Structure 1
């Protein structure tokens, strides 16, 4: 059998080479011609897995080393009998620690204590739950919003999006990007939402670019409806808004989930999924990830998160070279998580 693997996915190289024909390609080179005779793809969000790519191919499984499905046309795959897998939850800890580092920077910049903060979390999936855990360990009050889960009767105390806007000092988004339906998330952060913000909050988008209406966010910032904003996921990536970039407290090239730990978990989950599906026995991926235990709490935990991952470094690099968005993302340095709690 033949596998095509995005060459920027770490920890996978060599794992299948002794039992399959494997090609490692740039995401831009994963196209209709290169996939037509392959049995399996292991990809990232940069590969749009749709009819244009897959029609007439031999693909039986798509494994994505990502937490979401937005780049996969699930309806087409179902019709064509193509199985799909994504590494749900793989990057939850990485994104949550990114949020913690951003909050730590903001509180330090403004002379605040984490014990004074109410953090509103929009989206209560794997990432939202981990953000809640870390926020509570930092001593913050937490509000959560997730209408789809609330409608399903999920056993949790949710509040409305309006209450999140009205009561929160920090508002962080962790939803998928959905375009239609009762709970569509495109432009959740827009004029109506920002007009309800009472505390000039810090806005964090580490979800998907389209969840935030960036022009509305700039207007809200200019009107002082919001205090600062943090952007990891952008509209129109990689051609990002230079005005948003200039005015952001933190601006990063979609790497919140890019810790070495998170990448390893994603790769390991994909390897296991491919092995199960095809009945293979691949080699074990190699890694050098070490445990880094942190037992701090309150402001000390916030400072530990910022010390472990100084989010200013990534911000300075992107602000200096916005045209290198993809390069910075594809050649991201090794960043390790803290083991918290």
Structure 2
């Protein structure tokens, strides 16, 4: 059995050596000749699994170590008997961490209290649900919008898009890329979208770059309809619109889901699905060897600080979006290298927090809701 593996998938080197012939290649360089005699592929979003790659190959199964699967031509796979699996929710907590850092830094930059703001969550799946819970923990009013789920599940508190656009101060996108159909999201954010938003709206996109018409966004920024924008994904990545980049508040290289925890879970889920497909007996394997953070205890002196400032300081010690923003602006041409060589980042669950000179159990509970392993109050 021959399996082709994206060489940048973490925690996988050597794992399947005794079960198959393994070939490690850059995900964006896999060719038709490479996959022709392969039985399985283990990939990420940079490998376009379509007719151009797969036609006349022996591929039986594709495992993607990612939440998204728009890089897989599911119709072609169905027509040609190729099974596939993605890793839904694998990096949801990582994206939550990224969005919380974005919110805290936006609040600091523009001097507002998050508890005074309404956030609209467009797309309430694994990731959107996590972000909504975090926003609620921060005291924000949350609007939920997910038409497919509302139709299927009849969820009463979900609202329509017009409600979100009319009332949300901040809008965060967590939708798949659908190029057609009733729930089309390609260029979902366009000029008519901006005609309906509140003035000075703030946008955060961690889903897919193509859901935003970047020319319409640039116009909306110029016309001061949009106050601030956070983009982790781009319409033509890895090639960036440099004029737009200069106008974006925080810009990053498609790394919102790149925590070590999220990567390990994505690898674990994809390995498990591949093992199930080929009846390999290590399908219960778990990628447990995630490096620990350099300092797993976060100590904050809370004197003369309000709760939002304290949460900001806690978050800045484990992850700050500003670091990723700086790296991309310094070298936008190295978009792919920034992804390939991303530094170790652990999620909140890897950290303990000590709040010094603090008696607030409400603050302690907020940090616990944001996922920190433990929070200790010392006076």
Category of TM-score, reference length = shorter chain: over 0.9
Q: How does 1:158-169 map to 2 (within 5 A)?
A: 158-169=158-169
Question: Does the CA-based 8 Å contact 1:104-1:303 persist in structure 2?
Answer: no
Inter-partner Cα distance in structure 2 for 1:185 and 1:284: 34
Match of 1:321 in 2: 331
Deviations 1:155-188 (A, max 9, x none): 3411121211111111110100111111101112
1:223 Cα deviation from its structure 2 partner: 1.1
Question: Does the CA-based 8 Å contact 1:166-1:199 persist in structure 2?
Answer: no
The alpha-carbon distance between structure 1 residues 307 and 190, as it changes in their structure 2 partners (threshold 3 A), is farther
Match of 1:123 in 2: 123
Inter-partner Cα distance in structure 1 for 2:213 and 2:236: 11
1:274 aligns with 2:274: yes
Match of 2:242 in 1: 242
Inter-partner Cα distance in structure 2 for 1:95 and 1:125: 12
Match of 1:172 in 2: 172
Inter-partner Cα distance in structure 1 for 2:133 and 2:330: 34
Larger Rg: 2
Inter-partner Cα distance in structure 2 for 1:120 and 1:218: 21
Deviations 1:13-47 (A, max 9, x none): 11101221111111233111111111110001010
Match of 1:336 in 2: 346
1:293 Cα deviation from its structure 2 partner: 9.0
SS in 1 for 2:153: coil
- Most deviating of 151-160 and 60-69: 151-160
Question: Does the CA-based 8 Å contact 2:169-2:202 persist in structure 1?
Answer: yes
Match of 2:200 in 1: 200
TM norm structure 1: 0.95
Question: Does the CA-based 8 Å contact 1:139-1:298 persist in structure 2?
Answer: no
5+ unaligned residues in a row in structure 1: which ranges? Answer: none
The alpha-carbon distance between structure 1 residues 101 and 246, as it changes in their structure 2 partners (threshold 3 A), is same
1:147 Cα deviation from its structure 2 partner: 1.0
Match of 1:13 in 2: 13
Match of 1:138 in 2: 138
Match of 1:82 in 2: 82
Question: Does the CA-based 8 Å contact 2:60-2:82 persist in structure 1?
Answer: yes
Question: Does the CA-based 8 Å contact 2:91-2:257 persist in structure 1?
Answer: yes
1:307 Cα deviation from its structure 2 partner: 3.3
5+ unaligned residues in a row in structure 2: which ranges? Answer: 301-305, 350-367, 370-379
1:309 aligns with 2:285: no
Inter-partner Cα distance in structure 1 for 2:155 and 2:313: 32
The alpha-carbon distance between structure 1 residues 117 and 298, as it changes in their structure 2 partners (threshold 3 A), is farther
SS in 2 for 1:4: strand
- Most deviating of 257-266 and 212-221: 212-221
1:54 aligns with 2:54: yes
Q: Which runs of 4+ in 1 moved over 4 A?
A: 289-294
1:219 aligns with 2:219: yes
- Most deviating of 45-54 and 19-28: 19-28
Aligned residue among 286, 289, 299 for 1:287: 289
SS in 1 for 2:189: coil
Q: How does 1:24-39 map to 2 (within 5 A)?
A: 24-39=24-39
